[in-house]
A and B are shown apart, each in its own frame.
Chain A
Amino acid sequence: MNQMPSFDSISTRAAAATPVRIAARVRGLSDTAIAWLFITPTMLLLLAINLFPLIWTIQLSFTNYRANRPNAPVRNVGLEHYQTILTDPDIWARMQATAHFVFWTILLQTVIGFALAYLIDRKFRGHGFWTTLILIPMMLSPAVVGNFWTFLYQPQIGLFNYLVSFVSGVEPASFQMLGDVSLSPWAIIIVDTWMWTPYVMLICLAGLRSIPDYIYEAAEVDRASNWRQFVSITLPMCLPFIMLAVLFRGIENFKMFDLVNLLTAGGPGSTTELASITLKRAAFEAWRTGYSSAFAVIMFVMIFGLANIYVKALNQVKAR
């Protein structure tokens, strides 16, 4: 039987292997100091790639800077960009489109994701195969998903239109999912739901499997019905997991860009132009760097603020 080396022997060997020069330097350092020594490089990296750009973005948001005009004088414009953005009806229309998208995708993904998790948790024959199959969409690249759904939605040859036609009897080419003002917001919701429901399902499945069996056994002893067990045990115990899934999907969908850009590019007209598409256009097409920095800060504050409120609610649910 192999004997595991003890912690002491490892530390003794490590100390022995440490060059005397370095050993002399660290000797006498407290545990806290050594811990700081280890985490400092990571902290510095995080500061460089997260905090510094954030501070720089905030600074730029008060200027008229344009990245494509490096020679132009940079002027401080104070809160002008913030005022322009917050009073612009177009921006509010984009925010409404974003809210519509976020609300419906989260609702559908949560309901369907939880239902699928509940089914998969039954451990029926072949459930492993079905789980794998259901998980495939979330493993695909958004670029691939965007492109092939563009084909699926094609009125003349698209499978989606044919399926709708098969069920409803309407002519496949008589409606355009991506080109119609009333249908296109739903077209992007359908695709996002198709792609990300498995993700919600996975989190819910983890929640369902974390519920100890003895609780259900006790409920059965008390002759609780299946519905009662579901309402009183499954749902409350799974709620923190569902809320976590909602948080992740909410943050992601608030920033949604790639999928929608590939499917509709914000069209028809500006119907599906979500806030992040407007932001990208301002930042990297129109090169209004100061303006887009202000917009990015506003979006960041919104997401950060909402997420914080939500996390507090989540903690309260968990504490119950």
Chain B
Amino acid sequence: MTSLRSLAFAGAAAASYLLAGTGAQAQSKTITLCWAAWDPANALVELSKDFTAKTGTQMKFEFVPWPNFADRMLNELNAKGRLCDLMIGDSQWVGGSAENGHYVKLNDFFAKEGIKMSDFSPATVEGYSTWPKGTQNYWALPAMGDAVGWTYRKDWFARPDLQAAFKAKHGRDLAPPKTQTELKQIAEFFQNREIDGKKVYGASIYTERGSEGITMGVTNALYPFGFQYQDPKKPYAMDGFVNSPDAVAGLEFYKSLYKCCTPPGASNGYMQEGLDAFKSGQVAMQMNFFAFFPGLYKDPNVGGDKIGFFVNPSEKTSGSQLGGQGISVVSYSQNRNEALAYIKWFADPEIQKRWWALGGYSCHKAVLDDPNFAKTAPFAADFLTAMGQVRDFWQEPAYAQLLQATQRRVHDYVVADQGTAKQALDLLIQDWTKVFKEDGKL
């Protein structure tokens, strides 16, 4: 009898173990989030621990360095790969990913879960979530607000000898520039100057040829000078807008900034090269995405009191290149419910506040509209200003071809000294027109 009872007990124990095992297995489902390998991604890993704690869903991350990010991830999407359940894809991918069925349309999900796009900054909703532009078709939740901004060596700017020399030359204080012209004057002032026995240079700007670098850089000169992608009244009509006298002046300005004021050998630099130049004390100013600013502020050598931040300066008008990404559910995911649960969790205002606190750039109004937001970080106020003046590159399905043409034409003119700015922009219109014709847009 005892042995029978023992047997029954053992059987029950085994059954409960098996059942528990099945339950644990169901709970410990794993989803993969794909993004670029950079500082905010590390913050997201930290933040996502809360999601796992609340839902039991494990998180895996696939982070790819920026220069290979688009190649790798677009390959994955085009191959209908199942690596990524969630994709924090670049803003320019929205058009193609929506039209080619890579992303799940989120309108119904948002409506069901009570997620309102009006709770997010309009610029980010427009930039990261919608396709076609101007409609309310949502393919992503704004995840990481970003724009190109500038850092500068606050400690160098504060030096009395440099202040005096600058004032003697330009008749004003050495302070963060308000215009592109001032930016260049400051860069010229620092170029080849000896500071603490070391030769320093004016500015680090984007010049990278292979992916999107020089385009993401030059637009920060083009927009303030008055460049427009197309006739606002007639879509895809580019002549007189892309190559307008203002646009030509903007492109010429960028080249002059590259020629006069960058460190030697800066002919193929993007985000990482900019960070290296700034962190090693080579340059007085650095063009880079706001996403890097929390990390730079914490840097033991150039952070803290030594670093300052400013928004991309205006000229005829204001404008900054949009960075940042939305988070989308990949259509080919086999874990769609868990991926959607992540989006729901991420949209929570409390999570968004923690996201900002950890170093991510929340796009949620609960964070951005907080009266104290501007005081939460030394670059927070500038971030708000930048997000108010952002513009993005084409987000068309054929964006990659449009980008390739821009990379080539701008690099040919700025770095390789080929032709004039007007010729470069005329050729760019020819290239873009060809792409739009192939795409049936013209």
Residues of A in contact with B (beta carbons under 8 Å apart): 67-71, 153-156, 158, 173-174, 176, 178-181, 261, 264-271, 281, 284-288
Contacts and interface: CB of A to CB of B under 8 A. Distances in A.
Contacts, number: 92
A181 to B, nearest CB: 5
25 contacts: A69-B397, A70-B78, A71-B101, A156-B264, A173-B265, A176-B264, A178-B267, A179-B267, A179-B268, A265-B210, A265-B268, A268-B415, A268-B416, A269-B408, A269-B411, A269-B415, A269-B418, A270-B408, A270-B416, A284-B71, A285-B70, A285-B400, A286-B401, A287-B74, A287-B78
A267 B415 contact: yes
Contact of B209 (A67, A70, A176, A265): A265
A77 B346 CA distance: 47
Nearest to B269: A179
Contacts of B75: 284
A271 B268 CA distance: 13
B376 interface: no
B263 interface: yes
Interface string B355-382: 0000000000000000000000000000
B100 interface: yes
Contact of A267 (B264, B265, B266, B416): B416
B404 A286 contact: yes
B62 to A, nearest CB: 19
A155 B209 contact: no
A284 to B, nearest CB: 6
A154 B267 contact: no
Contacts of B74: 68, 287
Interface residues of B, number: 35
Interface string B239-282: 00000000000000000000000011111100000000000001
Contacts of A156: 263-265, 282
Given A71-B100, A269-B412, A286-B400, 5 more contacts: A68-B100, A153-B265, A178-B268, A285-B400, A287-B78
Nearest to B78: A68
Nearest to B70: A285
Q: Taking each of A156, A173, A178, A179, which has the highest tally of chain B beta carbons within 10 Å of its own beta carbon?
A: A179
A154 B265 contact: yes
Interface in B370-420: 397-398, 400-401, 404, 408, 411-413, 415-418
Nearest to A288: B401
Nearest to A177: B265
B404 A285 contact: yes
B349 interface: no
A288 B71 CA distance: 14
B122 interface: no
A290 to B, nearest CB: 11
Contact of A287 (B80, B264, B400): B400
A271 B404 contact: no
B101 A271 contact: no
A266 B78 contact: no
B267 A267 contact: yes
- In order of increasing CB-CB distance, the 10 nearest A-B pairs are A269-B416, A179-B267, A265-B210, A267-B209, A269-B412, A155-B264, A155-B265, A173-B264, A268-B416, A268-B415
A176 B267 contact: yes
B408 A69 contact: no
Interface in B69-127: 70-71, 74-75, 77-78, 80, 96, 99-101
Nearest to A171: B264
B403 to A, nearest CB: 8
Contacts of B411: 267-270
A287 to B, nearest CB: 7
Contacts of A269: 209, 408, 411-413, 415-416, 418
A268 B209 contact: yes
A269 B265 CA distance: 14
Contacts of A281: 404
Contacts of A67: 78
A285 B411 CA distance: 18
Contacts of A270: 408, 411-412, 416
A44 to B, nearest CB: 25
Contacts of B265: 153-156, 158, 173, 176, 178-179
B212 to A, nearest CB: 10
A158 B263 CA distance: 14
Nearest to B405: A286
B210 A179 contact: no
Contacts of A264: 209, 268
Contacts of A267: 209-210, 267-268, 411, 415-416
A265 B208 contact: yes
B217 to A, nearest CB: 14
A5 B70 CA distance: 61
Contact of A70 (B100, B211, B401): B100
A155 B199 CA distance: 14
Contacts of A287: 74, 78, 400
Nearest to B411: A269
Contact of B210 (A71, A181, A266): A266
Contacts of A178: 265, 267-268
A40 to B, nearest CB: 31
Contacts of B401: 286, 288
A68 B211 CA distance: 18
Nearest to A271: B416
Interface string B46-72: 000000000000000000000000110
